[in-house]
Amino acid sequence: MAFTQLLILVLSLAKLASVVGFMEERYAVTEEIVDEVEDEDNKKTSDKNNGYEVYEVTDEGNGSSNSSSSSSSSVASSSSPPPANNGSDNIKWMLLPDGKGDVGVAILSGLEPKSTNQVENVEFYLYSRHNPNRAEKRTMNASCLPVFKYFKAARPSKFLIHGFGDSVQDSIMYPILKDAFLLKGDYNIFLVDWSELAATPWYNRAMQNTEQVARQAATLIDHLARSTGSETSTFHLIGFSLGAHVAGMIGQFVKSGKIKRITALDPAQVLFTGVEKNKRLDENDAILVEVVHTSGGYLGFQDTIGHRDIFPNGGSWPQPGCFLDYAAVCSHRRAYYYYGEAVRNKKGFRAIPCSNWPDFMAGSCKNNIENSFELANDHNTKKYRGKYFMNTNSEEPFGIIDKSARETNTNDYDYFGLLFDEFQNYV
């Protein structure tokens, strides 16, 4: 036992040392970006066409144009947002993960690129069981609406939408969810690639671009409804982080009917504090809006913003098993690992309605077991709405199966399945 404890201590110290080294490397990169921002700020008055717009940010986080800005409007030397209920809008930069889980500097305010990227840079990749490995790729433009050879109106459709710093090529989330859905059934699976409008380090610009990306996707859905006879009630939008807000605005902009369901995987909270509902995800964006919270109070929302909000392990960071999760990278990404494996396997543990996490942990909500549900099933009734809580294991399999709670071969509707075929624990 003593040897085991010593081994754990040695491994923990080694992990801590690697994290410290990583942070020192990122700090050096941050200093380079800060210096670059200051250089651009100092050149603003002599070269107004240098490709950047510098804003002076007030204490309330509102930017005002200032062509004679001094170095006081450069990036602040703070890499962490205020705790809990945010106020993150006052921060000029912070460390954020990209789609691969790599942590880097994200500009929140104080500097913006003069973007050359347009909505034509949004691409749509269609997969189905007829083309599971080779996507049918199309773009949207004003002169020609796309035709998808493999799209079938009789199939339900899933739109998967990545977040900040991600792309179809680099995404970890996309293959997890795409393969899980195609294993479950034959769907039209659309991967939305807005990587050029969500590129690092410009988080502020990516946030602003969510609306135009949503308009493009909504136009495509309306086009599919008109040209193929498909119904919007068969469309399911799944968005991660910033992509969750894109999904919400798609629901607002679609004109051919109400979107059936939106699943928001740890929707981004950074810079969305106090934002009007028509600029972010909210419960009015689909017939059912469900939200999975895994890094609440840091990268993701802590408060309820859907018809039903699911809080694995309380919904906050760090999630169990996310050792030294200094930038909430592991906890943030758990949302799509949980959901992907819920699609693959229903059994695992129940999501139980409860008013708050302490009551759930105290066992005060055990009588609500009859109203428990599984995340990956289409429970659209009002019975399965509200706040739901659950526990997970700290490593795979994450699902906690309680065989005493009416589990049978025919009764799989009381279980929220979280069994994992693969998982990479990132710290």
CA-to-CA distance for 94 and 256, rounded, in angstroms? 40
How far from 126 is each of 144, 167, 189, 249, CA to CA, in Å? 18, 15, 6, 21
Closest of 415, 426, 425, 424 to residue 390, by C-alpha: 415
Q: Is 236 a catalytic residue?
A: no
Residues present in the chain in total = 427
Q: Contact 411/370 with Cβ under 8 angstroms?
A: no
Of the residues 241, 316, 331, 372, only one is catalytic, namely 241
Please report the sign of the dihedral spanned by the C-alpha atoms of residue 327, residue 328, residue 332, residue 334.
Answer: positive
CA-to-CA distance for 136 and 146, rounded, in angstroms? 11
Of the residues 162, 236, 293, 332, only one is catalytic, namely 332
Please, what is the Cα angle at 379 between 375 and 384, to 5 degrees?
Answer: 85
Please, what is the Cα angle at 165 between 161 and 167, to 5 degrees?
Answer: 50
Of the residues 98, 266, 282, 325, only one is catalytic, namely 266
Buried residues in 318-340 as b, exposed as e (16+ CB within 10 A): bbebbeebbbbbbbbbbbbbbbb
Q: Is 379 a catalytic residue?
A: no
H-helix or E-strand containing 235? strand 235-240
Q: Contact 412/347 with Cβ under 8 angstroms?
A: yes
CA 3, distance to chain mean position in Å, is 41
Q: Is 223 a catalytic residue?
A: no
Which of the residues are catalytic? 241, 266, 332
